[in-house]
Structure 1
Amino acid sequence: MAYANFETREIHCKVLYLGASGAGKTANLRSIYRRSSIRLTREPAEFIAENFAPYEFIPLSLGQLKDFHVKLHVYTMPEHGLYPTFNMVLLKGIDGLVFVVDSCLSALQENLDSWQHTKELLTQEGINFSALPRVIQYNKRDHEEAIALDVLKQELNPNGLADIEAIATQHIGTLETIQKISGLILDELGK
């Protein structure tokens, strides 16, 4: 749920990037950082060990909505269960989610399991999944093992949610994804 600070005239929104391990959540945030005009004190950390940090974070400015400056706080959430309490905290107050799909055939079952797990986690936390702004990103579209897009849509997106094709390591589709989820969130805020 968006948080409005009336003193600073800011609205803060939270977006989670979820998906199976290795789907490209971190690559998305790094691409957004490199392709956007935001300037942080330092680039998102390069982690040496796979499970060193429980999440990555990047702040973005969406500009003005009426009299308020809208800020987007974008997080990745690890798929593994090493940080269940932390994951519950990350889920609190989310305004939108991006589900990153690894387009490779070998990852199809892991994608399906992760999508189901995502729905269950949100339901357990009392979040109305069907009312939450969502975008599905089909990442790794350049991989030689990439599944046809219509098959991925049939398996993971039969309800026709907003979706984007991407190659995060080449900065293709990453800004479009964040723009799409931002637009859906702003539509909700405008209501």
Structure 2
Amino acid sequence: MQVRTRHTPAFGVARVILGPGEAVQARGESMFASSFGLTEVAGGRKSPSVFTAPKEGGWLDLAPAGAGDVYPLEFDGRTGWCVARQAVLARPASVRADSWPGLQAMFGAEHGFLEHYSGTGPLVLACAGPVDQFQLAAGELISVRPGHLLAYPDSVQCRLRALDPSGQQSIRTGEGLMIDFAGPGTLLVQARKSR
């Protein structure tokens, strides 16, 4: 699977190029064009569809529901990534959602505003705005509001804290919270707050 982007950063489109018989999971409503012969097996109301290329291969064009960028995040099989919930536009079977002890320590038994992915290949992310990459040096600290966080590798140290301990907070949405990160590592943030 290969990913090519266009119309970025305001109205990003991802062209996913599939080899013969190769498949990709994506939100069904995000696909607006494809090569002839591509098949779709629709998921349930909240499940992604599976698009499969015919024997000669094919492509499909995907776009997020709203304005913003698309960002292909390449997985190398060595490092997993924590990704903003609802940010995944498309993924091959070789990139899987999994449970990770770091998120369980952060959120407890609740489903928080992040998901963990690992494997190999490109994970296509839908972003609310242009993507900024912060390269943190060893010991460098940065704080990010959860609504702007897109992804970070699980090797980066982080801490979740309340902006105002007496104010309203939500682990599910990130409201009233801040995440502190310590380098070394890479942070991906979106310039506009996720919807």
TM-score range, shorter chain: under 0.3
**Larger strand share, 1 or 2:** 2
TM-score of the superposed pair, with normalisation by structure 1:
0.25
**Larger helix share, 1 or 2:** 1
- Which structure exhibits the higher relative contact order, with contacts defined as CA atoms closer than 8 Å and separated by 6 or more residues? 1
TM-score of the superposed pair, with normalisation by structure 2:
0.25
